[in-house]
């Protein structure tokens, strides 16, 4: 099996490497796209995606890094898996045992654990650059704002939003000269990646802060637990739903259905919180404010899982325009 076309992106490598890219461009079925300056791995991938979609709106793409980590046979194996499952994101996954550089082993392990806990996705290799990407994902990937290494993590998170399944294909684990050719910076790029994950929890924590501050402001002068609980939860609900739908779960489902589901969760969660406050303060002598904080902490993870797996699990409505902009290298309209 062969590949129809190879697109190589020169992400601002500079004049010393121009002869190399010129030579590659003369090969049959090879197209070279260039950035005048380095824009980041995500931007380079989007340039390649846009070029492919402008030629074929139903393109199935396989991405491979340029640091020598991917064997040609593995690239073809991922391509075959994508042809067999054109609706799935196919990941070429490495085994992180044996002589693997510490920064690669540690970075993947941490991200894999966090991805499992936060996004509910069990993925063996979150940082692999060898991927088979279905055509349905490409327009949405072009619309993402990420331009660096975090783009590949956004791709995994987008699978949940779009309802795209993830398939894995075992590949060789190759690191040339201790992986010195990689441009992945463990500290800086990991912070960018984990920021994408942390936004899942950040808005929920801010909403809990709003809830508790309003509760305290109402309860301290009135001593009315139920009234304070209801009013605080209403304010927190409005604050949370508006932000969590787009900024956290990036849902594209039906807003009315999601709001009704979210409202039901608020009612159930609020009732459970009220019951826990009564129990802790009445039976165990815990102060009401402390009991409130303890109750919300206990319910935080349950609320998150319900929102992630039930309320905001809707897929993108059909009929949305998904035509890429072939006049812009990143596919975003100016």
- Taking CA atoms, 322 is separated from 58, 101, 325, in Å, by 11, 40, 9
Q: Does residue 227 or residue 332 have the better pLDDT?
A: 227
Residue predicted with more confidence, 311 or 10: 10
pLDDT greater than 90 at residue 257: no
Lowest mean pLDDT among 45-49, 184-188, 289-293: 184-188
More confident of the two residues 176 and 11? 11
Domain boundaries, the chain: 6-184, 198-311
Q: What are the pLDDT digits (tens) for 25-69?
A: 999 999 999 999 999 999 999 999 999 999 998 889 999 988 778
- CA dihedral defined by 19, 20, 26, 31, rounded to 10 degrees? -110
Q: Is the pTM of this model over 0.85?
A: no
Assigned fold of 6-184 = Spore Coat Polysaccharide Biosynthesis Protein SpsA; Chain A (3.90.550)
Vertex 265 angle, CA 280 and 314, to 5°: 150
Give the C-alpha separation, 112 to 121, whole Å: 9
Say yes or no to pLDDT of 11 above 90. yes
Comparing 53-62, 114-123, 227-236, the range with the smallest average pLDDT is 114-123
DSSP letter at 95 equals P
What pLDDT shows up at residue 312? 79
Please tell me which of 113-122, 180-189, 237-246, 293-302 the model is most confident about, judged by mean pLDDT: 293-302
């Amino acid at each position: 099996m062969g590949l129809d076309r190879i697109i190589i992106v020169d992400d601002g490598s500079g004049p010393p490497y121009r002869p190399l890219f010129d030579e590659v461009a003369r090969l049959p079925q090879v197209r070279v796209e260039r950035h005048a300056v380095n824009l980041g791995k995500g931007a380079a991938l989007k340039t390649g995606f846009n070029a492919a979609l402008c030629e074929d709106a139903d393109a199935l793409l396989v991405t491979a890094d340029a640091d020598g980590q991917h064997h040609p046979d593995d690239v073809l194996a991922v391509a075959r898996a994508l042809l067999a499952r054109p609706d799935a994101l196919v990941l070429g996954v490495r085994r992180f045992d044996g002589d693997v550089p510490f920064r690669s082993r540690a970075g993947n392990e941490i991200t894999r654990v966090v991805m499992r806990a936060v996004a509910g996705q069990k993925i063996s290799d979150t940082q692999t650059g060898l991927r088979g990407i279905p055509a349905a994902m490409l327009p949405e990937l072009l619309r993402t704002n990420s331009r660096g290494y975090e783009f590949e993590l956004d791709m995994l998170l987008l699978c949940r939003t779009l309802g795209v399944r993830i398939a894995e294909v075992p590949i060789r684990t190759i690191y040339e000269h201790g992986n010195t050719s990689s441009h992945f910076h463990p500290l800086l790029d990991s912070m960018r990646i984990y920021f994408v994950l942390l936004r899942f929890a950040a808005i929920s924590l801010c909403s809990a802060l709003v809830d508790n501050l309003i509760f305290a402001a109402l309860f301290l002068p009135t001593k009315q637990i139920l009234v304070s609980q209801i009013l605080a939860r209403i304010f927190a609900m409005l604050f949370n739903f508006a932000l969590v739908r787009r900024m956290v779960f990036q849902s594209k489902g039906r807003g009315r259905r999601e709001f009704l589901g979210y409202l039901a969760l608020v009612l159930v969660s609020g009732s459970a919180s009220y019951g826990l406050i009564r129990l802790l303060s009445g039976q165990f002598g815990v102060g009401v404010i402390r009991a409130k904080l303890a109750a919300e902490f206990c319910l935080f993870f349950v609320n998150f899982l319900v929102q992630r797996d039930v309320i905001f699990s809707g897929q993108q409505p059909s009929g949305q325009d998904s035509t890429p902009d072939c006049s812009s290298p990143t596919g975003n309209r100016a």
